[in-house]
Amino acid sequence: MMLEVHRQSFSSYLDRLLSRGCLVLTPEQAQKDLGITRRAFIDAAKRQQKKGNLIMPRRGFYVIVPPQYLALGAPPPSLYIDSLMRNEGHPYYVGLLKAAELHGASHQAVMQFQVVTDKRLPRIRAGRSAIAFYYRKDMDEVAGGLDEHKTEAGFIKISGIELTMLDLLRYPHAAAGLDHIATVLSDLGPRFDPYKLANRSVAFERTIVQRLGYLLDKLGFSEHTGALHETLSRFHVLPWTELEPARAKTHAVKHEPIERDERWHVIVNRIPEIDE
């Protein structure tokens, strides 16, 4: 009989949290609120997980599934990512293609919810959503390039347009390759701030700045890349770099490049194709 009471009380407890706009809970919080043991909490949580009312994307961190998201198996990661990363104790921002989408880039269907943080974390599968984590050691160096984005559950940190553009070149494997990167840059290009981009670029590798500058010029934004190019003046001799280094390594037979861009010192073996 007591089991039935606990089952009902835990279900009501989840409903009360939802009514207050709270989607997340920890065992410690629930035990304190309900006055139950850890064993009782785990048993009750497992029952709700089987019903699809609760998920556990990370050990010891639970997310309530509101009725409107039951068919998807989980609420969107944007509703709980801030709480998740606070629970993990690591700085973060939503970045790359997901950030580009939030900034209005319309040419891509984002398959993963992409997060940059200072710890190597495993991918999370939550319902139909996947959260992929990308590592950056010096998160403080890019903190000035973050924006706050409002969601149904509050605010999340996302990379600003300029930081997003640089990250796309830093993590090309996460952005589906150069053609896709160029397409997204063409969407974001009309709205970036040249001086913010130059300031953000200082936290990035020289080669990334060269590649981004080259692409922006080719996409028709050369009037706005002067400040970015000026950041490279600290190099007395600007080394040459491949536009697609991974592609250059995998092609055993060496061909003459189709272009050697003198402004950015970028070697181009293939012109990226833009999805119109």
- The answer to whether residues 116 and 229 belong to one domain is yes
pLDDT for residue 2: 38
For the chain, the average pLDDT equals: 91
pLDDT at 1: 31
The domain that contains 60 carries what CATH number? 1.10.10.10
- Residue 274 within any structural domain of the chain: no
Q: Is residue 207 part of a domain?
A: yes
Question: Within this chain, do residues 31 and 102 fall inside the same structural domain, yes or no?
Answer: no
Quick one: 65 and 85 in the same domain?
no
Q: How many domains does the chain have?
A: 2
Q: What is the pLDDT of residue 5?
A: 39
What is the per-residue pLDDT across 135-148, written as a single tens digit (0 to 9) for each?
999 999 999 999 99
Residue 110 has a pLDDT of: 77
For 48, the domain range is 2-75
**Of the candidates 214, 225, 192, which has an alpha carbon nearest to the alpha carbon of residue 258?**
214
According to the model, what pLDDT value does residue 250 have? 58
68 and 84 inside one domain = no
| 248 occurs within a structural domain | yes
Report the predicted TM-score, pTM, of the whole model to 2 decimal places: 0.90
Tell me if 115 is assigned to some domain.
yes
Asked whether residue 156 falls in the same domain as residue 57, the answer is: no
Q: Cβ(102)–Cβ(158) under 8 Å?
A: yes
Residue that terminates a domain, selected from 54, 75, 96: 75
Residues of the chain with pLDDT under 50: 1-7
Q: Are residues 127 and 264 in the same domain?
A: yes
- Which of 75, 92, 120 delimits the end of a domain? 75
